[in-house]
Amino acid sequence: MYDVVIIGKGPAGTSSSLYTIRANLKTLVIGKDDSAIRKAGKIDNYFGFSNTISGEFLLQEGEKQASRLGVEILDDEVISVEKDDFFKVMTARETYVSKAVLLATGQPQVKAKLENLAEFEGKGVSYCTTCDGFFYNNLKVGVLGFKDYAIHEAVELETYTKDITIYTNGRELLLSDKFKDQAGRFKVNSKPLLKLDGGDFLQRIFFNDGTSEDIEGLFVAYDSASSLDFARKLGIVADGNSIVVDKYQQTNLDGLFAAGDCTGSFKQISTAVGQGAMAGRKIIEYVRSL
């Protein structure tokens, strides 16, 4: 059992871990190697460096610092976060249990470009199987995605319907061994997608080659799950693409915190580092209060 699992190893997540580990909280950081600052070749507006630095350099130094202090850092992708008595943070390989969780996954991933996607949101298009799967009992549904996260969502939907197609939008399925086995249960359509169509509700999905298929629901689980996807499932308040937090970075769910770009703040390293620090401090208080 961890005191805290931090999802994301960008400036927000790593900064927070420096506080929690130095307060002797058992701290695990899980993140992939695609922080926004990896794309920043030159950084001149972050305190403390007399010469221009690269985002890559800053990330590496932050990770070394956290490791030196005892933070466990895992290169992996989180697929799901659940809460009963404690939090369960799931990757394709393992489930990690913790008392608190910090969401620090940066800005949501760019979603698939698909005509009319937004128009059918709430009318056949959903981003949350836990919230909406029930409404698709025995109906024909699709999951839009090509990675573990998409298969995880399809497995959740099996409670409600067996007629499930994975639409990869022209991508190869990119799956870990665990999810490769499970994917075999679903139909897979890998044609590039063109648009959604219907009346008051979604009825059809069109492909670039002019063909179409009838569907009644489409669950979007494209690329990796973001903080926003986790938040939706946990019933966390969000405002557009941003997770709503108070001034201590707490969400409306006890023990769940968010920091950095996923909160829609001023998207800068200094803000992410500051929010991570504040979240760290509050997580320490929270864990000690249990």
Ligand X SMILES: Cc1cc2nc3c(=O)[nH]c(=O)nc-3n(C[C@H](O)[C@H](O)[C@H](O)COP(=O)(O)OP(=O)(O)OC[C@H]3O[C@@H](n4cnc5c(N)ncnc54)[C@H](O)[C@@H]3O)c2cc1C
Q: Given candidates 30, 128, 220, 258, which one binds ligand X under the rule CB under 6 A?
A: 30
Q: Given candidates 23, 43, 175, 183, which one binds ligand X under the rule CB under 6 A?
A: 43
Residue 214, helix vs strand vs coil? strand
Task: Kindly tell me which of 5 and 196 has the beta carbon lying closer to ligand X.
Answer: 5
- Shortest Cβ 241–ligand X spacing (Å): 13
The total of other beta-carbon atoms located within 10 Å of residue 50's CB is 5
Nearest CA-CA partner of 81 in 248, 226, 259: 226
Q: Given candidates 22, 26, 34, 63, which one binds ligand X under the rule CB under 6 A?
A: 34
Task: Kindly tell me which of 165 and 263 has the beta carbon lying closer to ligand X.
Answer: 263
Residue 253, helix vs strand vs coil? coil
- Shortest Cβ 238–ligand X spacing (Å): 15
Q: Given candidates 62, 106, 142, 255, which one binds ligand X under the rule CB under 6 A?
A: 106
Report which secondary-structure segment, H or E, holds 87.
Answer: strand 87-91
* Tokens at 147, concatenated: 């990675």
105 is a site residue for ligand X (CB under 6 A): yes
- Shortest Cβ 131–ligand X spacing (Å): 18
d(CA 145, CA 262): 21
> Which of these segments, 101-109, 112-120, 213-221, 234-242, binds ligand X (CB under 6 A)?
101-109
Site size toward ligand X (CB under 6 A) is 34
What residues are paired with 167 via a beta bridge? 144, 189
> Which of these segments, 104-112, 166-174, 189-197, 279-287, binds ligand X (CB under 6 A)?
104-112
Beta-carbon contacts of 178 under 8 Å, excluding residues fewer than 6 positions away, are 92, 93, 148
15 and 282 in contact (C-beta within 8 Å)? no
Task: Kindly tell me which of 100 and 205 has the beta carbon lying closer to ligand X.
Answer: 100
- Considering only residues 54 to 83 of the shown chain, the ones binding ligand X according to CB under 6 A are 77-78
Q: Given candidates 4, 6, 7, 231, which one binds ligand X under the rule CB under 6 A?
A: 7
The total of other beta-carbon atoms located within 10 Å of residue 217's CB is 26
- Shortest Cβ 107–ligand X spacing (Å): 6
b/e map 104-113, b = 16+ CB within 10 Å: bbbbbbeebe
Query: CA angle, 34 as apex, 284 and 132 as ends, to 5°?
Result: 75
- Considering only residues 216 to 275 of the shown chain, the ones binding ligand X according to CB under 6 A are 224-226, 260-261, 267-270, 272
179 DSSP assignment: H
d(CA 38, CA 46): 15
> Which of these segments, 34-42, 110-118, 207-215, 240-248, binds ligand X (CB under 6 A)?
34-42
Enumerate binding residues for ligand X (CB under 6 A).
Answer: 7-13, 30-32, 34-37, 39-40, 43, 45-46, 77-78, 104-106, 224-226, 260-261, 267-270, 272
